[in-house]
Amino acid sequence: MEKILIVDDNIDIAELESYILKEEGFETVITHSGEEALEEINKNKYDLILMDIMMDGISGIELCAKVRDKVNCSIIFVTAKANLVDKMVGFEIGADDYITKPFESAELVSRVKAHLRKDKRNQNISKGNIITIGDIKINKENYEVYKNDKRIKLSTKEFEILVYLMENAGIVLSKEQIYENVWKSSFGDIGSVAVHIKNLRDKIDKEEKYIITVWGFGYKFTKDVNE
């Protein structure tokens, strides 16, 4: 049974999330502050974390930054903060997804199940899966990315998008294709793709030498850096 940590200072919302997920067979633990959640994460292992952003004391953004290097599971923000800047900040510090309050029960369950399936698949990736294009190299087994032999730190979603782009190098991929293949869902905020692409470029491709925007269609990872 997968174990999910819920972090929200709104008791009613935390209890609602817990009830919905327990009905689907998940085990849940509720914490009502960033401080309490940090202590819980340091003591126990979780398969997924649902986290509010706006909390007194340690905010969700601060908490995510503190624990991202300690946990490999997906972190989903569930919050009323829905503007693009908030999402960019959340993705930049390592969040994997974003659900806006108020949410539908079906959406919460679908997102949670999709991320748990994805995390399970990633744990079973066979060894030796290395892709190299130009001076960028990724190791799918251990989630490592190198550029010019220097390791680059990416969030889980940034890494998965990079893998998808590089596995399909030379092919123009729409935002919808990227979202469906990386988020494993056909509904959600397609704009998240552009945010993650921007973050990827900032970290590994500031000259936009590899990740090419094909206006009106989507993105393409250059198959040959000399093309």
Give the domain CATH number at 65: 3.40.50.2300
Residues 6+ apart with CB under 8 A from 121: none
The residue whose two tokens read 């972190």 is 75
Q: Judge whether 227 lies within some domain.
A: no
End residue of a domain, out of 74, 94, 123: 123
Whether residues 98 and 157 share a domain: the answer is no
User: In this structure, is residue 57 part of a structural domain?
Assistant: yes
For residue 171, is it within any domain? Answer: yes
Minimum mean pLDDT among 32-41, 138-147, 216-225: which range? 216-225
Contact present, 129 and 139 (Cβ < 8 Å):
yes
Residues 87 and 21: their CA atoms lie apart, in Å, by 24
Q: Are residues 79 and 161 in the same domain?
A: no
Burial status of residue 193 (CB atoms within 10 A of its CB: 0-12, 13-18, 19 or more)? buried
**Residue numbers of the domain that contains 66:** 3-123
* SS3 (DSSP) at 143: coil
Are 199 and 144 contained in the same domain? Answer: yes
- Which residue, 83, 105, 123, sits at the end of a domain? 123
Domain match, 101 and 134 both:
no
Are 137 and 103 in a shared domain? no
Q: What is the mean pLDDT of the chain?
A: 88
Assigned domain for 17 exists:
yes
167 and 104, same structural domain? no
Q: Which of 79-83, 86-90, 151-155 has the highest mean pLDDT?
A: 151-155
pLDDT of residue 90: 76
Among 105, 123, 141, identify where a domain stops. Answer: 123
* Residue 70 within a domain: yes
- Quote the pTM value: 0.60
Look at the chain and report how many structural domains it folds into.
2
Tokens for 127, please give them. 């060894």
Token digits for 130? 């290395």
- Answer whether residue 226 is part of any domain: no
**pLDDT bucket at 82, cuts 50 / 70 / 90:** low
Asked, for residue 178, whether it belongs to a domain, the answer is yes
- Is the same domain home to 156 and 201? yes
Q: Do 15 and 119 lie in a common domain?
A: yes
Residue 70: pLDDT over 90: no
54 located within any domain: yes
Other CB atoms within a 10 A radius of the CB of residue 24 amount to 13
pLDDT digits (tens, 9 = 90+) for 135-155: 899 998 888 999 988 999 999
The enclosing domain of 146 has a CATH number of 1.10.10.10
Q: Are residues 119 and 134 in the same domain?
A: no
- Contact between 92 and 199 under an 8 Å Cβ cutoff? The reply is yes
Whether 101 and 169 map to the same domain: the answer is: no
11 and 70 co-located in one domain = yes
119 and 141 both lie in a single domain: no
pLDDT at 121 (0 to 100): 66
Give me the amino acid identity at 218.
G
